[in-house]
Structure 1
Amino acid sequence: MAGSPPLSPKAAAAAMEAAEAARKERQAARDAAPAQAAKAEQEAAAADKEIDALAARKREALQRDVAARKAAVAALDDAQGGDDHSSDGSDLHSAMLQHEAAAMINLHAQAVGVQNIRSLVHSVLDIATGNYNRWRDEFLVVVGKYSLEDHVLNDTPASNFPDWVRMDCVVKSWIAGTISTDLAETVMERTSTAHDVWLALETQFLGNRETHTLHLDLQFRNFVQSDLSIVDYYGCFKTMADSLAALGEPITDRTLVLNVIRGLNDRYNDIGRHLRHGRPFPQFKDVVSELTLEELTMAHKLGASPTALVVATSKPSSTAPPKGGGRPSDQCSGGSSSGGASSKSKPRWNKQRSKSGGAPGSTPSSSGGSGTSKGAGSGASTVLWLSLHNPTYGDKPAAQHRRCRVW
């Protein structure tokens, strides 16, 4: 550069050394590039050879299978003294076998390509949830879809065939992907087959079959509705019936219906009596439909009462309330003679409404005089509805949603 001072000998030597080192690095990279390319080509060629060898082994296995089946059919025809028509039938049978073998190879290829087994088996098996029956049914559907059910149901593995070993690894990985981590640590072993893991899971959940059946049958015979909804109630019975069937003690539809009717609470006495005397005797699905309709009818009848309760509390009466208080439905069933409320025995909904800002005895729609706002009136209507559908509202929290637990 014009006007710049000349470089010192040391600086010039250092610059030359740096340039030489950079040149050597570039030269080494150029020299190594052909070797790397040749190595990559060799790896690609080896991979192609492996793929070709795999395809060849599949074709050979298929040909051996077809040949063995043909030989078996021919031997059977010779033993039975078949005529020319039998040869035509064997050709057709061989063609069908070839088609079936080709379809099986295609299904196995699709099974290897499954990336997320939980998209097919939605239930995750866990000891805490006890959902073995549902998980087993879903898993058997999936392995049946890909013609792999023999890997979990067959006691004699064909470990001499590489294709069978490969598909067994696929099924075993599916099992590991649909069970919890704790359960996998219990049943999974490196040298075990898919059938071994399947049997270990079956023992884990269906072991002590007799004792388990005894306790579950006792729970089934003594289960009652209590405060369960109809949906949860018959769902519990269905779960117990399915569990007993899995244990080798199937429950008939008639026995299931009789126990469902037996365990109904007092609100369903009438519909229970009607179902018991039905001829022909109703099936489980019909009983479920009738009980669900009855529950909806009860809810509809009770849902019309809160408006009447609000109107009744808007006009205090001097008539003394019934001795001992009582439920809201009892206090409002007698018209004006039971609609009064003293300061000592006011209905529970008035107490709750006064806490939310409304004055006792005021209508929910009133907006002046006693400081009752529109929001307070809306809250009073809600409390009235809750008091009607849950008589213990205000004394303790609402009954929590209960679910049955199968032992």
Structure 2
Amino acid sequence: MVGEVVQTEASGSQSGKPELHPVYSVNNILHKIRMLDGVKITYSSWVKLFTLNAKGYKVSNHIDGTPPPADTDPKYAEWCEIDAHVLQWIYGSISEDLLIRILETDSTAYEAWTRLKNHFHNNKEARAAALEHEFTNLSLSKCGSMDDYCQKLKDLATQLTDVGSSVTDQRLVLQMVRGLPASYDTVGAYINQLLPAFETARSMLQLEEHRRSARSEDTTAAALAAPAVAPTQQLRLDRRFKWVRKFGTE
């Protein structure tokens, strides 16, 4: 019994030590969150990753509008220090262009979070119109490869969703086919008929591109492997051809 009490007290003294907050274990936020640029990494994707990490490292209350403790509260100093770390997360995971827009002196993490949100949510109509024009006019000929073309379409669709103009998977597939050149009419018609999921349609186009590339390589190899005609033999053939054309018989 006495041993149990001593053991409990010892455990209590160890657990009584203040534990280091999980936020201090993050040395580089970019190891957890991709850099927000609004193009390759969209705002909605960045928010999902950021809030996931904020929850995991127990700092969600610094970006969800939870009021901070009063400045007379003993925990206020610690709150300010943790908030500064979260603010560094925000500033350190956005592009320079965005940083210039939201950077302010003496800002809390929530204030910076709100400024960034407002930047992407303001002027939705104008941004949606510009993105819609780019989306409907994108074609394979304007991109470096099939992969690049499909990814740009996907990125534009995500950006349109961010400004309240959602693009359905079906429309994304139809637009992808619409931007293909005439040489893809056969596979394009097949995709239009099936209307598969975007990733499935994307794989179908990639397979078609690989098939064309392989056929082109085979044709080139066959041409290189064909025996060359010697100049003297070619001259004889040319003379024989002229003779046949003139007299109609050899």
Partner-residue secondary structure (3-state), 1:215: helix
Instruction: Look up the match of 1:266.
Output: 182
Equivalent pair of 1:159/1:165 in contact (CA under 8 Å): no
In 2 relative to 1, CA 269–180 (structure 1 residues): closer, same or farther, beyond 3 Å?
Answer: closer
Which of residues 230, 234, 257 in structure 1 aligns to 2:150? 234
Partner-residue secondary structure (3-state), 1:258: helix
Instruction: Look up the match of 2:7.
Output: none
- Which structure has the bigger radius of gyration? 1
Equivalent pair of 2:150/2:176 in contact (CA under 8 Å): yes
Q: What one-letter code is carried by the residue in structure 1 that aligns with 2:152?
A: C
In 2 relative to 1, CA 115–311 (structure 1 residues): closer, same or farther, beyond 3 Å?
Answer: closer
Instruction: Look up the match of 1:250.
Output: 166
Unaligned stretches of 5+ in structure 2? 1-15, 242-250
Q: What one-letter code is carried by the residue in structure 1 that aligns with 2:141?
A: S
Equivalent pair of 2:120/2:163 in contact (CA under 8 Å): no
Equivalent pair of 1:132/1:205 in contact (CA under 8 Å): no
CA distance in 2, matches of 1:251, 1:126: 21
Q: What one-letter code is carried by the residue in structure 2 that aligns with 1:304?
A: D
Which of residues 177, 186, 202 in structure 1 aligns to 2:117? 202
CA distance in 1, matches of 2:52, 2:207: 34
Unaligned stretches of 5+ in structure 1? 1-54, 59-105, 321-336, 338-407
In 2 relative to 1, CA 293–126 (structure 1 residues): closer, same or farther, beyond 3 Å?
Answer: closer
Instruction: Look up the match of 1:193.
Output: 108
Instruction: Look up the match of 1:297.
Output: 211
CA distance in 2, matches of 1:216, 1:182: 19
Identity of aligned residues (%): 29
Deviations 1:155-176 (A, max 9, x none): 3423425254443222112112
Deviations 1:349-399 (A, max 9, x none): xxxxxxxxxxxxxxxxxxxxxxxxxxxxxxxxxxxxxxxxxxxxxxxxxxx
Deviation at 1:180, TM superposition (A): 4.3
Residue 168 in structure 1 maps to residue 78 in structure 2: no
The two structures have a TM-score, normalised by structure 1, of 0.47
CA distance in 2, matches of 1:150, 1:252: 34
1:387-406 aligned at under 5 Å gives the runs none
Instruction: Look up the match of 2:23.
Output: 111
Q: What one-letter code is carried by the residue in structure 2 that aligns with 1:285?
A: E
1:121-160 aligned at under 5 Å gives the runs 121-123=33-35, 125-126=36-37, 131-133=41-43, 134-152=45-63, 154-160=64-70
The two structures have a TM-score, normalised by structure 2, of 0.73
Q: Which has the higher contact order (CA 8 A, sep 6+)?
A: 2
Deviation at 1:132, TM superposition (A): 4.1
CA distance in 2, matches of 1:148, 1:168: 8
Deviations 1:35-91 (A, max 9, x none): xxxxxxxxxxxxxxxxxxxx79x8xxxxxxxxxxxxxxxxxxxxxxxxxxxxxxxxx
Residue 184 in structure 1 maps to residue 99 in structure 2: yes
Instruction: Look up the match of 1:69.
Output: none
CA distance in 1, matches of 2:180, 2:221: 30
Q: Greater helix percent: which structure? A: 2
Deviation at 1:184, TM superposition (A): 3.3
Q: What one-letter code is carried by the residue in structure 2 that aligns with 1:167?
A: I
Partner-residue secondary structure (3-state), 1:226: helix
